[in-house]
Structure 1
């Protein structure tokens, strides 16, 4: 991980492409379409968000339940992203991204029924989704603050970016639901669900390791 951190560097931090970084630093004034696109691109390529969403909807079958949980995540994500940038509240990108990795691990363990077996209780899944949504939003706001976005047109641009994030989330969610819909119709779903969540958990631990390594060597 130490060698990888030296090679990958900023890729450990909350993903914003280098080209987008330069654009964010240079742009001034109200640019709604551009920030709408950047928000959607961020969510569609944000593997941390997608892994967490996958964990959240893994055992949700009714669209009503999916809508509730995704809405909670969206509210949390939007609140801290907007407030963090607007009020200049930032957290070290490596540390907050490690917490985001922890959210992936948490949800995978929840899907595997670990908390009932270990502690005899089931945590409030809706509250956890909202709280970790706050963390995901802080991850992005911290990175945007690092890029010193122009205060000229800040609020409209942030709102457009957030709308883009939510549109990207809907597109990512749609793709996940299509794949899950086909998989759930096969006998292998319940047979391999535990293994699939083990893989998701491993990815979460890998993300935590990358972020903490990046933090200590940066």
Structure 2
């Protein structure tokens, strides 16, 4: 699962695609999980159980969350067997589902800049883990499953801070939250399927091992810049 001896030589199409996704995460950092005005207006007007609309909103929220997708890409980058992919994706899903529902239900008012900064660090962490940095620096491999679960908890808090912006009605809050979470999982599965198809084609080419290092460096840079961007927002924005 880790990369020890690869070196980047020159850009390739897969690396360029990952770099583009990283660029979208950076340029859309403030709005990747923002609440669309029309969506916010719709949510403010409805009450009671509205399961299908919340499923749609949850799926939309995840698919447009570039930082979540980058982390998911990092998690499965060197996973080949479906049972391993299922284990790690399930741990991530358990983490973000738990804190997303609890954070909204109990109105945990945590700074979105703080949470998004940690999410940026999670992307950088996973990229560094993929290139074997921690083994070289620390002399041991951190528990990747525990890290995936822990960062999943923070990703869920990130979702919760944005969902709270919807000002959901108390009437039907819990079932609507569950529906939103179902939508998030659907969006995650769609994103995962797209990533796995693209990775499957790339892994069959000689360029995969040649440029995998560059791809993870691009993700690492995106994570650190996103962390810095959110940290500035935490300090500057009142």
| Counterparts of 1:187 and 1:122, CA distance in 2 | 27
Shift of 1:12: 5.2
CA distance in 2, matches of 1:174, 1:109: 24
| Ranges in structure 1 where 5+ consecutive residues have no aligned partner | 1-7
* Residue 211 of structure 1: how far off its partner (Å): 1.1
CA distances 1:35-66 after superposition (whole Å, capped 9, x unpaired) = 00000011111101100000000000000000
Q: CA deviation at 1:212?
A: 1.5
Moved over 6 A (4+): none
DSSP 3-state at the match of 2:30 = helix
Q: Which residue of 2 aligns with 1:3?
A: none
1:163 aligned to 2:182? Answer: yes
1:148 aligns with 2:167: yes
Tell me how large the CA RMSD over aligned residues is: 1.7
Aligned length: 211
Q: State which of 115, 118, 128 in structure 2 corresponds to 1:96.
A: 115
Is residue 40–residue 167 contact of structure 1 (8 Å, CA) maintained in 2?
yes
Query: For residues 74 and 143 of structure 2, what CA distance do their matches in structure 1 show?
Result: 15
Kept in 1: contact 2:35–2:166 (CA 8 A): no
Q: 1:180 aligns with which of 182, 187, 199?
A: 199
Measured in 2, the distance between the counterparts of 1:115 and 1:10 equals 27
Give the alignment partner of residue 26 of structure 1, picking from 45, 70, 87.
45
How far 1:159 moved relative to its partner? 0.4
Cα distance in 2, alignment partners of residues 81 and 41 from structure 1: 15
Written as runs of structure 1 = structure 2, the 5 A alignment for 1:1-218 is 11=30, 14-218=33-237
Which stretch of structure 1 is more off in the superposition, 167-176 or 88-97?
Answer: 88-97
TM-score for both structures, normalised by structure 2: 0.85
